[in-house]
């Protein structure tokens, strides 16, 4: 969905986007960027080109929604295995896409260090590294945005992965065992717009976070951005791109 707004002479275009997902974890494990990541990249490049070809002079742009970005999965698995002093053989990534998922390990139980990956299964028993409260070390593996660093910019991520949350009520911070936790839901800005978010004389902080953090809302928690101003600033407009001609 694409909309264009004129606010006090300023033109702001907003685009709600939903890019391709990873339909098979096994294929994502074969290489990075995966075939799905390449489709996402092509789709977003096409969208940005279409916006550029039909834009106004000095226009501002915000793109938000489910980008479906994924971590560098081969490197993520390699790090997990190295943490358990286990070798990583990339030849195992040649497993057929039709391989059956493993519901339980032999004997009905999982062992520490087991990694269970299937088409729609991603389960690492006894591992608490990439969780709701421990996600910062894995932010460098969020690499799909690098292909657009010259066109789109984003505020620093300080919130947990936005997908895939469990649908079970009462456990709003638990992730499902279908995918590796990732930051799918994002808000990005054109370089011009991003430079206006924090003008030199700004008095407000910008909060970039998840909505409904402590409530079970489904498999996604959407991201949001708002400005937090001190009382004396309330007498002024709080548009993040104010007074820009």
Is a pLDDT exceeding 60 seen at residue 230?
no
Q: Quick check: 64 and 187 in contact, CB under 8 A?
A: yes
Structure-token match 């638990």, residue found: 174
Predicted local distance difference test score (pLDDT) of residue 44: 97
Is a pLDDT exceeding 90 seen at residue 21?
yes
List of domains in the chain: 2-235 (3.60.10)
Predicted local distance difference test score (pLDDT) of residue 213: 87
Q: Quick check: 36 and 27 in contact, CB under 8 A?
A: yes
The string of DSSP letters for 91-145 reads GGGG--TTPPPPSS-TTS---TT--EEETTEEE-TT--SSBTTB-GGGGGG--GG
SS3 state at 232: helix
Predicted local distance difference test score (pLDDT) of residue 97: 41
Q: How many Cβ atoms from other residues are within 10 Å of residue 220's Cβ?
A: 16
Is a pLDDT exceeding 70 seen at residue 74?
yes
- Quote the longest CA-to-CA distance of the chain: 68
Q: Quick check: 64 and 17 in contact, CB under 8 A?
A: yes
Query: Which pTM value belongs to this model?
Result: 0.80
Query: Percentage of the chain with pLDDT > 70?
Result: 74
Say how far apart CA 201 and CA 37 lie, in whole Å: 39
How confident is the model over 170-188, as pLDDT tens digits?
Answer: 889 899 999 999 999 999 9
How confident is the model over 79-90, as pLDDT tens digits?
Answer: 887 765 555 555
How confident is the model over 107-150, as pLDDT tens digits?
Answer: 455 566 678 899 999 988 766 667 788 889 899 999 999 999 99
């Amino acid at each position: 969905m694409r909309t264009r707004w004129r606010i006090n002479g300023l033109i702001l275009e907003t685009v709600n986007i939903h890019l391709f997902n990873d339909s098979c974890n096994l294929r994502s494990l074969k290489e990075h960027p995966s075939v799905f990541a390449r489709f996402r990249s092509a789709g977003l490049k096409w969208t940005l080109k279409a916006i550029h070809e039909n834009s106004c002079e000095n226009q501002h742009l915000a793109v938000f929604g489910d980008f479906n970005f994924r971590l560098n999965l081969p490197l993520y698995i390699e790090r997990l295995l190295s943490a358990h002093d286990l070798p990583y053989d990339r030849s195992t990534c040649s497993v057929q896409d039709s391989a059956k998922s493993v519901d339980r390990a032999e004997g009905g139980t999982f062992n520490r260090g087991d990694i269970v990956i299937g088409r729609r299964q991603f389960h690492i028993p006894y591992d608490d590294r990439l969780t709701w409260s421990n996600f910062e070390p894995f932010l460098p593996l969020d690499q799909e945005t690098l292909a657009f660093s010259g066109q789109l910019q984003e505020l620093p991520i300080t919130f947990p992965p936005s997908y895939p949350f469990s649908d079970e009520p009462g456990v709003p911070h638990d992730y499902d065992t279908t995918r590796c936790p990732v930051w799918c839901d994002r808000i990005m800005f054109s370089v011009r717009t991003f430079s206006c978010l924090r003008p030199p004389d700004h008095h407000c902080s910008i909060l970039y976070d998840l909505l409904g953090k402590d409530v079970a809302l489904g498999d996604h928690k959407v991201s949001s951005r708002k400005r937090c101003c001190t009382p004396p600033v309330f007498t002024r407009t709080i548009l993040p791109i104010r007074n820009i001609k």
